Amino acid sequence: MQKDEYDEYDGESQDDGDDDDDVAPVITSNPETKVVKPGASVLLPCDIEGTFDSYVVVWEINDKIIFQDRLILSGFDANKYELMENKSMVINNINEDDETDYTCKIMIKNEAPKVTHKVILAKAPIITSLIAEKNVQEYKSGDTLNLTCIASGLPKPKIIWSLKGKTFSSQDKTLIIENIKHADSGSYQCLADNSIGQPAHQSLTIQVMHKPIVSIQKLPSNIGEDSYDIDLKCVVHSTPGAIVEWRKNGVKLDNKIRIKNNFHILTLAQVKESDFGTYTCHAVNQVGENEQHISLMNTPSKPVYLEGSRDEKAKDVNLIFDVESIFPITEYTLYYKKHSDEKWMEEKPVVHEAEGNVFKIKQTLYLPEGSFEVKVKAKNMHGWSEESKVLHFKTKKSHHQHQHKHHNTSPEEAHETMPKESPVKESQSTSTSSEPKMPMATLVCLMFASILFRY
């Protein structure tokens, strides 16, 4: 049925009764735009105020009538369109063909009250563009990075930026990072999500040009009874790539260098006296240069504090230091004193077997309450090491009921966690005698009897 098929009503009531006292109905619903997921249903409201029983209410789509009152016209599926009691309409299983305008109208003479709603199919997000400012993907340290991600979809998708698994707080289409550094290199991902379908994502790789970052590791590679091999590993991070070389005492080495990923490995086989000295790993690229030094000594390395613990019951403190030595350690000397004293006391820790080329210096000190300082040195067949950095700590009075017997401590915590002395207050001493005490009443009776006896 087309629009002219209901012209016979032409705004007249459906009966011949007197309608002069009826208030003309009005539609109170406001026009809405409905964004609907594919396959979902949508309610299009048509709330009417006033009596409308004697008027025809129709729903139209593109000037074609869907409902005339409760009658659905031919060509429209009753499972697709449903009319509610209040004349609102539900459309089921929304698809692309349903994207259009829908009008609810009351057929009254002159101007018919009506409301028109628009139905739009929700669309999954699509990223149409991910670019860096001026299409530059290589930057120098200190530059400002400016990335823009353009995405479409209904509803408007939310933008999420991430790098190496870390999500940025910005949810704007533009991501700006000032003063970028080496750590800001990597694949930047833009993810667009509006809860329709799967999120869209694209990535863009950014490189931050910087001078080489150099670090050195010294590791034993083979330990025998009469020989010792050692690897000097130089770790270089550089963009662009760097030229790396090893030097000894300032002179470039011609040794064959093994390269594995970012490692540049110098192997010293069967270490001998001539191998000792200062080694330098030097790296240079287009941005700049950098180097690190390491000393290979025949004497032990400078001992390093590792950890400390306490035993409050025994009121002692246990200290552990690490020291490296290619040759066996023969002797340790540990010095300690009260902070206010000038004279250092000495202890001779026992030499334990090494783990590779690392020896552990272990010493237990029995100390009263106060502030203390400790340092240590190690000796092998070639001489003494440098003294360790002075360790400062405090011991306090113990409170056994609140403390565990053992726990670890670091240099920063040493003054808080070293052994504590228990207070000895003579004024609070109590007798440990097991002799029975005489009841007060008995004592009074004896005193009274003694007085009577005198008289």
CATH of residue 25's domain is 2.60.40.10
Per-residue pLDDT reduced to its tens digit, 203-227: 999 999 999 999 998 776 555 555 6
59 and 13 in a common domain: yes
Q: Is residue 231 part of a domain?
A: yes
| Structural domain boundaries, residue 366 | 304-417
Same domain, 380 and 336: yes
Q: Is residue 440 part of a domain?
A: no
List the single range of 49-53, 173-177, 213-217, 334-338 with lowest mean pLDDT.
49-53
DSSP 372-427: EEEEEEEEETTEEPPPPPPEEEEE----GGGS-S--EE-TTTHHHHB--PPP--GG
Rounded to the nearest integer, the mean pLDDT of the chain is 82
pLDDT of residue 312: 63
Q: Say how many CA atoms lie within 13 Å of 53 toward its Cβ.
A: 5
- Does this model's pTM top 0.75? My answer is no
| Phi, psi angle pair for 348, to nearest 5° | -115, 90
Residue 296 has pLDDT above 80, yes or no: yes
- Residue 450 is assigned to a structural domain of this protein: no
Q: What is the pLDDT of residues 274-291, one digit of tens each?
A: 888 899 999 999 999 999
- 284 and 310 share one domain: no
pLDDT at residue 223, as a whole number? 53
Q: Is the pLDDT of residue 419 over 60?
A: no
Close Cβ partners of 239 (under 8 Å, ≥ 6 residues apart): 182, 185, 207, 208, 209, 210, 285
pLDDT at 406: 40
Q: Which of 92, 121, 150 is the last residue of a domain?
A: 121
How many domains, the chain? Answer: 4
- Averaged pLDDT for residues 254-258: 84
Q: What confidence score (pLDDT) does residue 435 get?
A: 39
In this prediction, residue 450 carries a pLDDT of 37
> Do 367 and 380 sit in the same domain of this protein?
yes
Let me know whether 106 and 55 are in one domain: yes
Among the candidates 209, 237, 269, a domain finishes at: 209
Q: Are residues 237 and 134 in the same domain?
A: no
Which residue in this structure is represented by tokens 């030595």? Answer: 325
Instruction: Give me the mean pLDDT over the 128-137 stretch.
Output: 92
